[in-house]
Chain A
């Protein structure tokens, strides 16, 4: 078992209710939930790998493939939707040539939609990596993306 996974597990107790916190730590460390991690968690918590996969695939937070270098999250909460968030997503899908939930071929961007970033008064909102951009328009977005290699 790789040392990094061992250290993460060591911070948690061995009961099944530690599963989601452990998965969150694993995703924070590796960017995704890999097969090796699931195997180690299975042995540690004494739950089958299939059950672990069943739990993690239920939640929107977890992904099983390596992420791109930059994560673009378009907010499509009600306020952002009403103020044209959908058009932003549309334009990004076209411009990057991927569907929502996919990664560009050069692994530069992930594209995702999220239900609400909680900045409803500043809609429409887009998050790139850890930066939040408000009152977005199609043109502003095009410019912004150039800053993310």
Chain B
């Protein structure tokens, strides 16, 4: 653009000058927070700063600064070209226009979509997304800062207020669909693990609080949870939400708080029954060969990475649990329903064709 005189001083010989400088981030989720972003551009550690003063008053290099996402800036040309009335046709009151989403997970047609704000989750998942193969369990919106919504929210409209009132957020538009093969406690643990790694470490509630939450979730997924843990999770979540310095910390408890609210039973199953109904939490499941069904085809023997399954051709195989790393390879390759993964009560895993 510079070569053509479309950027820089006195563009096309007018008295309008405009400069663009591109700076690459260096790998820190927290730098999505505006003051941390400013810090990163200034060549410092990406640690958020207290406000006031707000960036509009004193931001980058101490100067007044406006900060916008690329998505926002990307909609501007269309609005300017087609006019505001064209744009406000889409969406609903207070939530005009469209939003892009990344619709992924256990869905038939994952990909990037753009819908009007106010579209229902049901329409997005089952119409646009082509629906799910196994029974629907939950949808996670807003990434690690968002929440998990259960089946009862399928008719929720996708807009800022509705999502917030359900305990989640819009965020940058992540929509992850989950089915019965996703353990909700493991998912909460996964998000907290992420937030812990990405926390800048400046403020106590986020740095230390998320560590405790993660530790509790770890124990629960290992079958070492206790009923007190649920209250502890709520208290910690509350403290972090109120006390954290920036948005990363303030929204970090959302996955835990929403899953506690909408999937409480799954937590209790892990704690009281030592069961992981999605057969994900490795400490709570065990793989074994169902001898009656095994034909000795050796498919599983070939794929097992640790050699835990042994046995000659045409004879039921043996699975040495001590070597099993629960990678699911055998389960997925077995054509005869002969591998079962379970908690303490052994049950046969179902396979959908």
Contact = CB atoms under 8 A, between A and B. Distances in A.
A19 B43 contact: yes
A94 B255 CA distance: 30
Given A84-B328, A115-B194, A17 B42 contact: yes
A25 to B, nearest CB: 11
Contacts of A29: none
Contact of A91 (B110, B176, B187, B327): B327
B26 A54 contact: no
A16 B42 contact: yes
Interface in B176-190: 176, 178, 182, 187, 190
Contacts of A17: 41-43, 61
Nearest to B201: A58
A78 B174 contact: yes
Contacts of B191: 78
Interface stretch (B98-106, B116-124, B160-168, B343-351): B98-106
Interface in A7-28: 16-21, 23-24
A62 interface: yes
A90 B327 contact: yes
A123 B329 CA distance: 16
Task: Output the residue of A79, A82, A121, A137 with the most chain B CB within 10 A.
Answer: A82
A145 interface: no
B325 A23 contact: no
A147 interface: no
A58 B28 contact: yes
A144 interface: no
Q: In which size bucket is the chain A interface?
A: 35 or more
A81 to B, nearest CB: 5
Nearest to A61: B27
B111 A60 contact: no
Interface string A23-65: 1100000000000000000000100000000111011111000
B190 A78 contact: yes
Which size class do B's interface residues fall under? 35 or more
A94 B28 contact: no
Given A16-B43, A55-B44, A138 B29 contact: no
A54 B202 CA distance: 14
B43 A82 contact: no
Interface string B13-49: 0000000000111111100000000001111111100
A61 B144 CA distance: 20
Given A24-B26, A87-B327, A94-B305, A120 B106 contact: no
B231 to A, nearest CB: 27
A137 B42 CA distance: 42
Contacts of B178: 82
A120 B306 contact: no
A20 B43 contact: yes
Contacts of A2: none
Interface of A: 16-21, 23-24, 45, 54-56, 58-62, 78-79, 81-84, 87, 90-91, 94-95, 115, 120-121, 123, 137-139, 142
- Please name the 9 residue pairs, one residue from A and one from B, whose CB atoms are nearest each other, closest first: A60-B27, A19-B43, A59-B26, A121-B110, A120-B104, A61-B27, A79-B104, A58-B45, A17-B43
Interface of B: 23-29, 40-47, 61, 102, 104-106, 110-112, 140, 143-144, 174, 176, 178, 182, 187, 190-191, 194, 198, 200, 303, 305-306, 325, 327-329
15 contacts: A17-B42, A20-B40, A23-B26, A55-B44, A55-B45, A59-B25, A59-B27, A78-B105, A78-B144, A95-B305, A115-B29, A115-B198, A138-B305, A138-B329, A139-B303
Given A59-B27, A60-B26, A84-B328, 17 more contacts: A20-B26, A45-B43, A58-B47, A78-B104, A78-B105, A78-B176, A78-B190, A79-B104, A81-B190, A82-B106, A87-B327, A91-B327, A115-B198, A120-B110, A121-B104, A121-B111, A138-B305
